[in-house]
Amino acid sequence: MPHQARTGLLQEDPLSTPRPQRFTDRRVVVTGAAGGLGRVVAELFRTEGARVVATDVVATDGVVACDLADDTARDAFVDGVLVELGGLDVLCNVAGIQQFAELGRLTPGGLRKHFDVNALAPLMLTQAFAEALVASAGNVVSVASISAVMGQPYNAQYCASKAALLLGMRALAVELGTRGVRVNCVSPGGIATPMIDAAAAGLPAEVNWDLIAKSQSVIPGFMPPEDVAEALLYLASDVARSVTGANLVVDRGVVW
């Protein structure tokens, strides 16, 4: 199938080599951490000394369950984090959903779900953790997408919701910057995760994959999640202390 993930480049496993301890005793929240990019991000933070609370819709080892689109559940999660960690240094919004759909198959419910998970939840989490982040001079890093800045066929609900996230976070960067909190985004291209197959499940067999392929990257293949995770950790680290309101594109040359 044309969307199947291939990285195309050899690389070392970042978890198998010694890493700098940039986040020793830093308090970090990672959403969408049960698999894919979020799992790698949470593991890297822990490897570098952070105290991590990881969440996803389904609990797994080291990951607590929370439906971030549910207001009550999200508020309870925030309260629990602040009790457990005693504050927060980094909010890492990785959770997201993507479901390809032709125009005729779009539904109000599907659109709302994309906006609830991809845009509303990260913005409301930032609001809920804002005072804790101000107290620690912390920062927020959110996963947007190249889909936020380019049109893609069959992907209207994802493109629109990620664009809302990107511009919302840029607005918060201005608002929170005066209070010492940095806010940044990473916009990945195609990542080799199960989300790719799940996103394509709603498309009919006769879909025009050539149309989708027009947004292929200069460097062939889907990226390993580790490549994108490194960008998130960079923005969350003290090395990026002068970086805010940024959108770091990691896409192998799609947006250029």
Report d(CA 12, CA 18) in Å as an integer. 11
CA angle, residues 119, 191, 95, in degrees to nearest 5: 30
Beta bridge partners of 186: 143, 248
Report d(CA 232, CA 44) in Å as an integer. 10
* H-run or E-run covering 86: none
Q: Which residue among the candidates 23, 115, 154, 158 is catalytic per the annotation?
A: 158
**Which class for 196: exposed (0-12), middle (13-18), buried (19 or more C-beta within 10 A)?**
middle
Residues 6+ positions from 96 with CB-CB distance below 8 Å: 32, 117, 118, 143, 145, 162, 195
Beta bridge partners of 184: 141
- Residue 185's nearest CA partner among 98, 94, 99, 88 is 94
The alpha carbon torsion through 188, 190, 191, 192 (nearest 10 deg) reads -170
| Whether 217 contacts 155, CB under 8 Å | no
Q: Is 234 a catalytic residue?
A: no
Q: Which residues are catalytic?
A: 158
